[in-house]
Each structure stands twice: as C-alpha cells, then as structure tokens.
C-alpha cells in the first residue's frame, strides 16, 4: 500500500472511532435529557474528559513537559470558548428540535468548511469535492423543503452550532499537526470546565429545564441506563476529540468535515432502533442524495491537497 493509501486508511480508522464515540454521546444526551439541564450535560462531559486526559498525561511520566511544547495559549482559549458555545448550541438543538431537522441542519457542515477554507486561504475545492458539495447542497435543500422548516430561534441556534463546531474542527486540525493530541484535549477542558461551572451557577434552571425523558425500546433498569449514559458521555467526549484530532492528520479539512456528517445517519438509525424515533419516510430520497454528496466530497485527494495553512 502506497503512502496516500495508507494515510487514507488511517483517516478512515480514526474517523470510524470518532463516529462511534459521537454516536454514544448523542444517545447519552437524549437519555439524560430528562434528568439534567443542557449546561449540566456539558459540565459532566467536560469534567470526564478533563479527568481522563489529566490521568493519561500524569501516567506518561517523563514525557509530561514535552507534551506542552509549542502551546499557543491564545489560540487554545479561542478554540475552547468557541467549542463550548457550539457544544451547548448542539445539545440545545438535540433537546428542542425534531431529530430529523437537527440532522438535516448538521449536514451543512461541509458547506461551512468549504466557505471557511475559501475565506482563510482563497482556496476553492477541486472538481470532485465541488461536485460532492453541489449534490450535498441539493439534498439539504430538498430535506428542508420536505420538513417545512420555518426560520426561527431554534433553527438559528442549530445553524450556529454547526458553523461553530465546523470552525473548531478546522482549528483542531491545525493544532494536531503541531503538537500532542493529549495536550490539546487537556487544555481545552482546563479552559472549559470553570466556564461550565460559572454557567451552571449563574444561569437559572428554568432557562433550560430538563425535557421529558426518552425511553429505550426494550426494558432495562433505570440505574443501569443512566449509569451507562453517564459513562458513554464521559468516555465518548474524550475519545471523540482525540480521534478527530488524529484523523485530521491524514485528511483534508473538507474530507474531515464531510466524513464528520456520516454520524448523522448513524444517530438517526440508532435513535430508531433504541428510542423508536422513526424518521419520516419521505425524507429517504433527499437523504440518500445528501449521503452521495458526502461520500463524493470525502474521496481520497492528492497529497498536495492536504496542506493546512496556519491561518485556519
């Protein structure tokens, strides 16, 4: 296997790990939504990732000092604050909008990525990714028409979530090419955790009350369901960032954000199997159109296309 093929295989492996972790996070959010507020869910996820990353760095022994070489603290702070805002907006969307609508809006991630790369680098996508983006945009437009989506506050929050998290994914790709993934994850949660605590203390609970709890399609003791959801949220939060950072070392920014959207149909499938959330059948064909666009935009690119500018 040549270098390009091996790099793409590593990209697929890390993205598969990321998708599995994000799937666990999404399911745990929906199961915990009847018991915790949006901020409490974010706080729990941040605490778990902070504890895991700190434990792994402490266990590394002599390598602890080198892990934090080349840190650009201002860049880390900016990315961490953006990621916190995007995460809260996404959790809000998952709790307050129909899943089919949230997934449709999340499919716009590669479009935001292409726009950001163009604004930062004045770099247009090559022919094949451009075709994929066109098919993707057509599918998203059809989905929004089928869902009779009406612009409003909740849809605006979902769009902010997608745009913000797409930006932080590209910033993560830039950081991952310069230093240790563990240092990136640890610093992010060192910055985010006190912010979550401050929000938890300052924001009235009635601004984001727990919604009606979701129930699994099969009987299971509540303590086991909640315990499993908490564990999935904690571990998944750490693994998703670590895997995404490693995947970014082997793919282009557009590939990264396109492959990221594959979590959307996976979440939809698992929500149907475990929570009996059946997506509307008339969304099937537009959804397939979107997936075709995602696959085309994620195809392997020449090695020269994988360079990421420090301005991202």
pLDDT in tens, 170-181: 888 888 888 888
Question: DSSP label at 280?
Answer: P
Q: Is residue 6 part of a domain?
A: no
Q: Could you report the per-residue pLDDT of 190-221, keeping only the tens digit for each?
A: 999 999 999 999 887 666 655 666 666 667 78
**Total tally of structural domains belonging to the chain:** 1
> Nearest CA to 185 among 234, 120, 227, 258?
234
Give pLDDT, residue 106.
Answer: 79
Q: Is residue 135 part of a domain?
A: yes
Q: Is residue 116 part of a domain?
A: yes
Q: How large a percentage of the chain has pLDDT more than 90? A: 14
Q: Is residue 16 part of a domain?
A: no
Residue 68 near residue 122 (C-beta atoms within 8 A): no
> Which pTM value belongs to this model?
0.78
Q: Is residue 189 part of a domain?
A: yes
pLDDT band at 39 (very low <50, low <70, confident <90, very high): confident
Q: Is residue 246 part of a domain?
A: yes
Name, of 64-78, 239-253, 264-278, the range with top average pLDDT: 239-253
Parent domain of 116? 21-60+72-306
Give the position of tokens 């929004």.
144
pLDDT at residue 157 tops 70: yes
pLDDT band at 309 (very low <50, low <70, confident <90, very high): very low
Q: Is residue 250 part of a domain?
A: yes
Give pLDDT, residue 311.
Answer: 46
Rounded alpha-carbon distances, angstroms, from residue 119 to 80, 104, 114, 175: 21, 24, 9, 19
Mean pLDDT value across residues 265-271: 72
* Stretch among 10-24, 26-40, 41-55 having the lowest mean pLDDT: 26-40
Q: Find the largest Cα–Cα distance for the chain.
A: 58
């Amino acid at each position: 296997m040549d270098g390009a093929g091996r790099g793409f295989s590593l990209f697929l492996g890390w993205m598969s790990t990321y998708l599995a972790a994000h799937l666990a996070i999404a399911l745990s959010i929906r199961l915990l939504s009847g018991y915790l507020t949006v901020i409490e869910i974010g706080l729990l996820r941040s605490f778990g990732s902070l504890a895991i990353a700190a434990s792994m760095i402490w266990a590394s022994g002599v390598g602890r000092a080198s892990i934090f070489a080349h840190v650009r603290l201002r860049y880390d702070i900016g990315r961490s604050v953006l990621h916190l805002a995007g995460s809260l907006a996404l959790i809000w969307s998952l709790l307050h909008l129909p899943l089919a609508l949230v997934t449709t809006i999340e499919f716009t991630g590669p479009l935001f990525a292409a726009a950001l790369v163009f604004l930062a680098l004045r770099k247009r996508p090559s022919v094949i990714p451009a075709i994929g983006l066109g098919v993707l945009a057509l599918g998203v437009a059809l989905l929004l028409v089928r869902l009779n989506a009406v612009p409003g506050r909740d849809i605006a929050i979902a769009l902010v979530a997608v745009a913000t998290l797409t930006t932080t994914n590209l910033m993560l790709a830039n950081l991952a090419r310069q230093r240790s993934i563990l240092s990136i994850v640890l610093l992010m949660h060192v910055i985010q955790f006190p912010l979550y605590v401050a929000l938890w203390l300052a924001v009235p609970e009635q601004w984001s009350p727990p919604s009606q709890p979701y129930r699994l399609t099969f009987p299971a003791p509540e303590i086991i369901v909640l315990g499993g959801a908490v564990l999935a949220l904690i571990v998944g939060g750490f693994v998703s960032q670590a895997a995404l950072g490693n995947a970014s070392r082997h793919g282009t920014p557009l590939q990264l954000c396109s492959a990221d959207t594959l979590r959307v149909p996976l979440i939809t499938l698992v929500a149907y199997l475990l929570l009996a959330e059946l997506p509307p059948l008339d969304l099937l064909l537009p959804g397939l159109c979107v997936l075709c666009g995602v696959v085309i935009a994620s195809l392997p690119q020449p090695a020269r296309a994988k360079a990421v500018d420090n301005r991202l």
